[in-house]
Amino acid sequence: MPRQSPRRPHAQTRTHTHPVDELLPIPRLALYGFQHVLAFYAAAVIVPVLLGNALGLSRQELVHLINADLLTCGVASIIQALGFWKVGARLPLVQGVTFTAVSPMIAIGTGAGGGTAGLLVVYGAVITAGMATFLFAPLFSKLVKYFPPVVIGTILTIIGITLIPVALQDAAGGAHLIGTPAYGDPKNLAYALGTLLFILAVVRIGKPFLSSLAVLLGLVVGTAVAWLFGDADFAAVRESDWFGVTTPFHYGMPRFELLPIVAMLVVVLITMVETTGDVYAIGEITRKRVDADTVARALRADGAATVLGGVLNSFPYVAFAENIGLVRMSKVMSRYVVVAAGVFMVVLGLLPKAGSLVASVPHPVLGGAAVSMFGIVAAVGVQILGKADLREERNTLILAVSLGAALLPTTVAPFFDRMPDDLRAVLDSGITLGALTAITLNLLFNVFTRRTTTEIDWDGVGEDEAPEAEFGAHPAR
């Protein structure tokens, strides 16, 4: 009888699909994707609203600016999540206009005379900065070793901490109500608190599938309650057009001027660090291995989206922190959910009436949901800081001083009002100032002194080593 060779334990290996690469059923893709759109919408449109109002644009011009932003957000998110060639991180990262660019763009636009003339100078700087980001991506990704956990964790913590006040402003009724009796009205706080408590209750007692939709359900229920009490206004939906097309260079051909370009290059340098932190954060959340190539592909997607934004009358793009928090809360990690969200955003960008419907979610309801999501971003930063040796005094100082610098623009605004416009355009942002501080101190304390720094250890986090429980089941199944 012929001898049979024993079967080795590893002769049969099971192949696993990482949750990031799992293609969910279309109904769930649509639900989860729409949840991302709702979570992202208010923050997405606030940048064109702030810039348009600061430059004195008409209502019609402002509506076009918002539609252009939504359309480009959708395309940018699809590029980042789906990926092609060496562009796109292929991770569940929703792209939106970076808050870091708001103050510089307002300074550039008003310095150029405001109105559409100011926008043309802004777009010239945006296009140039986008090209620089795309071309510089491979080199920047090799500098990741200079961004150890103490830097990445500090930046993510700063992003969360500086965005939480934005959520709290919405909870009080929205920044547009500041200075009026309606701002901070107990009714607004009740809507925000009710939405937050509803989300927490769904996460606590709901089944896994319902828990993954907690934010979407909270926004829908909160809006319905506000409507019943007469505090949700859908008049803008009736007044909006059904269809609107964003045309390239709608306001005219961009103008390329040196100082605005320099200011925008500084902005995208910060956003490149921010994107690096976001990529590592989503890798930490999804347990997906992240390396220099992943960072380079993410940065190329940022650069391509930013160039596209300048062409389609929009702005610089970066991964949205609140949606990273949503991935953590929902535990739905499929990048195809973000692709679905991108499709929704493109549709909203072409259908002003549909976009107005989503925009009708009351500010306090949105603020209640955003508090949890922005807080989670800060928590992810703290989680990454746990990989740094904070018993080392130098690392502790990097964190402490950077947090202080990040809070300076929001706590002592008059200090920046006295700065020259060019310098204020760069530094009047908590994220920018805090990130620059963390990077500079790390170079002084750990790099130039040739001290060794702890890098994020991805052993055991990659898809081959992760436990089956992380891969085999999650709420989407």
- Compute the distance between CA of residue 356 and CA of residue 272 in angstroms, rounded to an integer: 32
Name the least confident of 80-94, 234-248, 443-457.
443-457
Share of the chain above pLDDT 90, in %: 13
pLDDT band at 453 (very low <50, low <70, confident <90, very high): low
The pTM (predicted TM-score) of the whole model is 0.69
CB distance 129 to 277 below 8 Å = no
CB distance 55 to 110 below 8 Å = yes
CA–CA distances in Å: residue 324 to residues 127, 140, 357, 391, 453: 26, 22, 24, 29, 26
Backbone region of residue 440 per phi and psi (left: phi > 0; alpha: psi in -120 to 50; beta: other values):
alpha
Burial of 219 (0-12, 13-18, 19+ CB in 10 A): buried
Phi, psi of 361 (to 5 degrees): -60, 120
Would the pLDDT of 457 be above 50?
yes
Would the pLDDT of 400 be above 90?
yes
Which two three-digit tokens encode residue 316? 């610089």
Dihedral sign of CA atoms 208, 213, 219, 224 in order: negative
Higher-pLDDT residue of 256, 167: 256
Would the pLDDT of 10 be above 50?
no
Higher-pLDDT residue of 114, 385: 385
What would the pLDDT profile of 292-309 be if each residue is shown by its tens digit? 889 899 999 999 999 999
Range of 3-7, 208-212, 244-248, 448-452 with top mean pLDDT: 244-248
Mean pLDDT of all residues belonging to the chain: 79
Which two three-digit tokens encode residue 432? 């920018």
Would the pLDDT of 75 be above 90?
yes
Higher-pLDDT residue of 325, 459: 325
In sequence order, what DSSP letters do the residues of 412-454 get, joined into one string? -HHHHHTS-HHHHHHHS-HHHHHHHHHHHHHIIIIITTT---P
Q: Which residues share a beta bridge with 319?
A: 95
Range of 43-47, 110-114, 128-132, 322-326 with top mean pLDDT: 128-132
Return the pLDDT at 362. 82
DSSP run (H or E) holding 319: strand 317-319
CB distance 456 to 450 below 8 Å = no
Would the pLDDT of 192 be above 60?
yes
Return the pLDDT at 421. 65
- Average pLDDT of the segment spanning 247-257: 86
